[in-house]
Amino acid sequence: MQTATHMLRTGRRGALFQFQMAARDLANSFGRLGLSWSLAWHDVASRYRGSVLGPFWITLSMGLMVLGIGFLYASLFKLPLNEFLPYVALGIVFFGVMTGTINEGCDTFVLASGMLSQTSLPMFTFLWRTVFRNLINLAHHLVIVVGMLIFYGYWKTANVPLALLGVLLMLLNASWLAMLAAIASARFRDIPQIVISVMQFAIFMTPVFWMPDRFGKHQIFLNLNPFYHLLQAVRAPLMGQSVQADSYLVLVTMAILGWLVTFVIFSRTRRRLVHYL
């Protein structure tokens, strides 16, 4: 119905019709992934414009953080460096991608208000822009991750395909959370602050800087933390450990339910979103 040369907009209501329109938005956004990619590249390039290292600041600042925290905590908790440093590197990098996607999700529509209010670009285009931007960041971090794994001898035992599956599950979940944050933030301007606070809290409650076995008999709290499963699905295979089957169950269920809820909310708010901004 809506192609480059034909646009139809009606005031028709009804859950089914709105659902169809939302699905069309999603489908159209897949047709224009190239635009999302260009916008994401532009975002990254413009953030580091004029600096000598350019986007490699992403790599450098992450490297310093990983080394700093790695050495500090390893000596505080008397952990072997060859085990803890790669562990913390993976934790910070992948948790960072997740928080980055969700936190920046809040600004997704707010920053795109100019384009949304005078073009018929799909809304989802801007969600993919946020997701791609964080993927580009991740690509810059990979140097650290791979370097660390090779240096400490984990690379030979790392299960890369399984880790990629973990990354996929992480992105699937982070993107619906980001979409939800984007819609909510467009309507209520308090949401970004709440999201940032929650994600900050989550990074300390999730075994990013500490080992899960330290939790002892309180393991149940660990299993109730979705971010733990998200992180574990990526980190464990790379460290040569196995992932609990429970984690996959949690992640797949969360992705399906999360996307369902998000999509329903999107289909109900889609025609109003541009007015929120």
Partner 1 sequence: MTAASITCQDLTVRFPVYGADAKSLKKALARAVAVGGALGRHAGVTDVTALSNLNLKLQAGDRLGLIGHNGSGKTTLLRALSGAYEPDEGSIEVHGRIASLLDLGLGIDPSATGYENIRLRCRVAGLSSKDIDARMDEIAEFTGLGPFLSMPVKTYSAGMQGRLAFAAATAVECDVLLMDEWIAVGDAEFQKLAHKRLLKLVERAGILVLATHEAPLLKLYCNKVMKLEGGIASEVVDIRKLDQLLKA
Supply the minimum distance, in Å, between the C-beta of residue 121 and partner 1: 7
Options 74-82, 192-200, 228-236, 266-274: segment touching partner 1 (CB under 8 A): 266-274
- Return the ∠ at Cα 234 (arms to 233 and 238), rounded to 5°: 120
- Sole binder of partner 1 in the list 14, 80, 114, 216 (CB under 8 A): 114
- Any contact of residue 120 with partner 1 (CB under 8 A)? yes
What does R_g of the chain's alpha carbons equal in angstroms? Answer: 20
115 binds partner 1 (CB under 8 A): yes
Q: Which is nearer to partner 1, 1 or 220 (CB)?
A: 1
Between residue 190 and residue 249, which ones bind partner 1 under the rule CB under 8 A?
none
- Contact stretch for partner 1 (CB under 8 A) within 7-15, 73-81, 129-137, 242-250: 7-15
274 binds partner 1 (CB under 8 A): yes
Name the segment binding partner 1 (CB under 8 A); options: 1-9, 84-92, 136-144, 247-255. Answer: 1-9
Taking Cα atoms as reference points, which of 122, 102, 252, 273 lies closest to residue 192? 102
Q: Which two tokens stand for residue 216?
A: 């002892």
Number of residues located near partner 1, criterion CB under 8 A: 31
On whether the CB atoms of residues 133 and 104 are closer than 8 A, the answer is: yes
Please give the structure tokens belonging to residue 248. Answer: 């996959």
Write phi, then psi, for 15 (nearest 5 degrees). -55, -45
144: nearest Cα among 191, 88, 98, 185: 88
When the beta carbons of 119 and 219 are compared against partner 1, the nearer one is: 119
Binding to partner 1 (CB under 8 A) within 173-192 occurs at 187
H/E run at residue 5: none
**CA–CA separation, 180 vs 233, rounded Å?**
23
- Whether the Cβ atoms of residue 68 and residue 92 lie closer than 8 Å to each other: no
Q: Are 40 and 134 in contact (CB under 8 A)?
A: no
Q: Is residue 68 exposed (0-12), middle (13-18) or buried (19+ Cβ within 10 Å)?
A: exposed
Q: Which of residues 8-27 bind partner 1 (CB under 8 A)?
A: 8-12
Q: Which stretch binds partner 1 (CB under 8 A): 44-52, 79-87, 100-108, 254-262?
A: 44-52
Choice between 11 and 216, CB closer to partner 1:
11
Rounded to a whole number of angstroms, the minimum distance from the CB of residue 32 to partner 1 is 8
Q: Is 119 in the site for partner 1 (CB under 8 A)?
A: yes
Closest approach, Cβ 33 to partner 1, in A, equals 12
Name residues whose C-beta falls within 8 Å of residue 16's C-beta, 6 or more positions apart in sequence.
none
Out of 34, 80, 161, 216, the only residue in the binding site for partner 1 (CB under 8 A) is 34
Give the E-state strand segments of 168-228 in sequence order.
none
- Site for partner 1, rule CB under 8 A: 4-12, 34-35, 38-39, 42, 46, 49-50, 114-121, 187, 271-272, 274-276
